[in-house]
Amino acid sequence: MIINKKHACHEALVHRILSLDIQPGSTLDETLLSEEYGLSRTPLREVFQKLAGDGYLSQTENRGTKVSSMDLNSMRNFFQSAPMIYAAIARLAAENASVQQLDDLKSTQLQFRRAGEESETQDMAMYNHRFHHIMGEMAGNPYLTPSLNRLLIDHTRMSQMFYKPINSKERLLVWEACDQHDAMIEAIEKRDTSAIVQLTIAHWELSRDRIEKFVRPDPLDMDIGLQEAGE
């Protein structure tokens, strides 16, 4: 029973972090979460440790457990690293994808497109996350995969902006991204490494300018702010 509760807590916190229900830089309240998910402190802290190891949380002695930051330094590193890692993953995915993985990718793409047709912003972000996670599984590289998974945490949080178009031009960009997914699947099926790399870079460039609008520092801690104001 504890194992099931831990798994449910883990999955719920992942979803809440990716969907921005819990904001970047927020401190987690152990007491509140223990009550909410029916876990004592020890198994809850085990969940925290797993999430910290995967990049969702940061843990600092005497500062509690926080959701991973999306401050300016973090975002600078993200935008520098993302195109290189995505391109490398895509090339390996085209070389190594199995039939089952391709089927999973196609199924996820159908769900992604359906969410777009229904204007489900959050679902689109989550299915996009799953789409690129499957590509990481296809690549099967133990050095690149952890980097991809860490990138996807921040990319999914930022993509809430991309999948919430505010005008017809931005809606066309969302559908272009959806069509690019289809082209990427076709390139993987053909084992066309050159095409998949080109598509991946184009896919990244399509959303980059829009998601950059999300970048902002975490809220300033009020105690620190008051201390600095008094200096």
Give pLDDT tens digits for 134-179: 999 999 999 999 999 999 999 999 888 888 888 888 889 899 999 9
Q: Is residue 221 part of a domain?
A: no
Instruction: Among 19-23, 36-40, 157-161, name the one with the lowest average pLDDT.
Output: 157-161
Report the pLDDT value the prediction gives residue 214, as an integer from 0 to 100: 55
**Both structure tokens of 228:** 């600095």
pLDDT at res. 1:
64
Q: Is the pLDDT of residue 226 over 50?
A: no
61 and 80 in a single domain? The answer is no
63 and 87 housed in the same domain: no
37 and 121: one domain? no
* Total domains, the chain: 2
125 and 161 housed in the same domain: yes
Q: Would you say 109 and 203 are in contact if contact means Cβ atoms under 8 Å apart?
A: no
In a domain, 17, yes or no: yes
Q: How confident is the model at residue 219 (pLDDT cuts 50, 70, 90)?
A: very low
219 lies in some domain: no
Model pLDDT, residue 162: 85
- The answer to whether 85 and 182 have CB atoms below 8 angstroms apart is no
> Does 230 fall in a domain?
no
Q: Alpha-carbon distance 106 to 90, whole Å?
A: 15
Check whether 220 has a pLDDT greater than 50. Answer: no
pLDDT tens digit sequence for 106-132: 999 999 999 999 989 999 999 999 999
The pLDDT of residue 229 is above 50: no
Q: Is residue 187 part of a domain?
A: yes
Mean pLDDT across the chain = 89
Residue 165 has a pLDDT of: 82
Shared domain check, 152 and 48: no
Half-sphere exposure of 218 (CA within 13 A, CB side): 17
Residues 77 and 191 in one domain: yes
- The CATH code of the domain that includes 10 is 1.10.10.10
Residues 115 and 192 in one domain: yes
Tell me: do 100 and 13 sit in the same domain. no
Mark whether 120 and 194 lie in a shared domain.
Answer: yes
Among residues 68, 96, 122, the one where a domain terminates is 68
Residues 151 and 109 in one domain: yes
Query: Residue 179 is part of which domain span?
Result: 72-214
Tell me, yes or no, whether 149 and 108 share the same domain.
yes
pLDDT band, residue 202 (cuts 50/70/90): very high
Higher pLDDT, 223 or 140: 140
pTM attached to this predicted model: 0.87
Question: Within this chain, do residues 52 and 122 fall inside the same structural domain, yes or no?
Answer: no
Q: Of the candidates 39, 68, 97, which is a domain's last residue?
A: 68
